[in-house]
Structures are given as C-alpha cells and as structure tokens.
Chain A
Amino acid sequence: MAESESKRIESSHSRSAGLAILYGWLLPGGGHFYLGHRNKAVLFCSCLLLLFSAGMVIGYGKAVDPQHHWVLFIAQVCAGPVSVLGWVVGERMDPMVVNIAPRLVDLGVVFTVVAGALNAIVISDAYARATRLKWGMTSEEGRGDSHGAT
C-alpha cells in the first residue's frame, strides 16, 4: 500500500511543472489533479469556485471590473478563466447597481480577490510539488507526503 503510494508520488514528481501551472490556472485545483492529488484538487476547486461565485452573487455581478480597480483585477485574474467570465457578466449588468449597494459590491470584490490570491498560492504549491521544491515545509509535512497523501 505504502509502496504504491510512494510510486504515485514519484510519478507526480516526474510530471511537467509548466503543465501543472497551466492546469492550475485553467481550473482551481487542476494542477493538483494533474499531479495525482485528486482529493486535494476537488477540495481546492470547490472552495475557490464557491468563494469566487459567492463574491459574484454578493457583488450583484459587478465584482470584476478592471475599469474601476485594475490592480485588484490582476489578483482576480489568478482565479482563472472564471474571472474573465465574471467580467463579461459584469459588463451586461446594470451599472446603477454600484450606486445602489456600493458596500455589497465592495464585499464581492474582496471575495473574488481572495479567491484569486488563494489560487495563486495553490498554483505555486502545485509547481513546488511538481519540481520537488519543499520550501517553507517542516520535516512533518515532508513525512506527510509519504504517509497521508490525498
């Protein structure tokens, strides 16, 4: 059991780091799925997409708006193509919403920015796993890789 687990992890290390980054950007958790960490991939995908969608719903669809806050848009883009989709949806929404409930729109922006920033961390984790970089990890996490990988 432990041998097959270590073989799976070894094969995950031989995968391309560039593809792990690309899949991680296309769909949150995609990089981990590509590397064989499927449970983690499902967890990342559900958490980040739920966070991003919550932001879009709370912000009345106007949470992604590069014309008003382009610096935050850079963080939102890290969430992947869903951010572009959110931008397209926002363009079709009524622009008066921003004046009716500006606090809720701001809250939506915070949600989407946090989702994007977290996906950037998830992508870098996938890259680290693909290239065997273990920066910032203690020996306990190193052991966790060989025993309780999900």
Chain B
Amino acid sequence: MAQHEQLIRYIAVIVLIALPSLTLGAIKRDSMCSIVREALKDALYICCGMIGLAVVSHVICIFK
C-alpha cells in the first residue's frame, strides 16, 4: 500500500508539472513549436520553485 501510494505520488508530481506548464505555454505562445519550448521553460521554473520550497521547509524543520 505504501509503495503504491509512493508511485502514485511520483506520477502525480510529473502530471502536476507537465499539464499546467503545457497550458501556460499555450496561453503565452501561438505556434506549436514555441508552445512546447515555453512549456519546457515553465516546467523548469516550477521544478526550481518546488526544490526551493522543499529546501526552505527542510531548513525550517531542522531549526524548529
């Protein structure tokens, strides 16, 4: 059950990053090629933001 939940969580994070960045890319750009390029850029920003949040929350937990 725990392994199953872990797998769902990994897939969920990938879906949660990929689909919104594709949507935002389609809003910002018009041609298909530039939509994908923009989506990749957005996905990178989201990943950086998530890693940053994880580091900050980890540091807060250490010093708490």
Q: Do A and B come from one complex?
A: yes
State whether A148 and B34 are in contact (beta carbons under 8 Å apart), knowing that A43-B26, A121-B27 are contacts in the complex: yes
Given contacts A118-B20, A122-B27, 8 further A-B contacts (CB under 8 A): A43-B35, A47-B20, A50-B19, A111-B12, A111-B16, A122-B23, A145-B30, A150-B32
Q: Is the CB–CB distance between B30 and A148 below 8 Å?
A: yes
Of residues 34 through 84 on chain A, the ones whose CB sits less than 8 Å from some CB of chain B are 39-40, 43-44, 47-48, 50-51, 54, 58
Residues of A within 8 A of B (CB): 39-40, 43-44, 47-48, 50-51, 54, 58, 101, 103-104, 107, 110-111, 114, 118, 121-122, 125, 141, 144-145, 147-150
Task: Enumerate chain B residues within 8 angstroms of A58, measured Cβ to Cβ.
Answer: 8, 12
A122 to B22, CA, bound (A): 12
Number of interface residues of B (CB under 8 A): 20
Task: Enumerate chain A residues within 8 angstroms of B35, measured Cβ to Cβ.
Answer: 43, 150
Number of A-B residue pairs with CB-CB distance less than 8 Å in the complex they form: 67
Q: B58 at the A/B interface (Cβ < 8 Å)?
A: no
Of residues 1 through 56 on chain B, the ones whose CB sits less than 8 Å from some CB of chain A are 5, 8-9, 12, 15-16, 19-20, 22-24, 26-32, 34-35
**Selected contact of A141 from candidates B19, B20, B23, B29, CB within 8 Å:** B29
Task: Classify the secondary structure of B's interface with A.
Answer: helix
Task: Enumerate chain B residues within 8 angstroms of A125, measured Cβ to Cβ.
Answer: 27
Query: What would 14 A/B residue contacts be, using CB atoms closer than 8 Å?
Result: A43-B26, A47-B22, A47-B26, A48-B19, A54-B15, A58-B12, A104-B5, A121-B24, A121-B27, A141-B28, A144-B31, A148-B31, A150-B32, A150-B35
**Selected contact of B26 from candidates A40, A51, A101, A104, CB within 8 Å:** A40
Most buried by B among A47, A51, A104, A148: A47
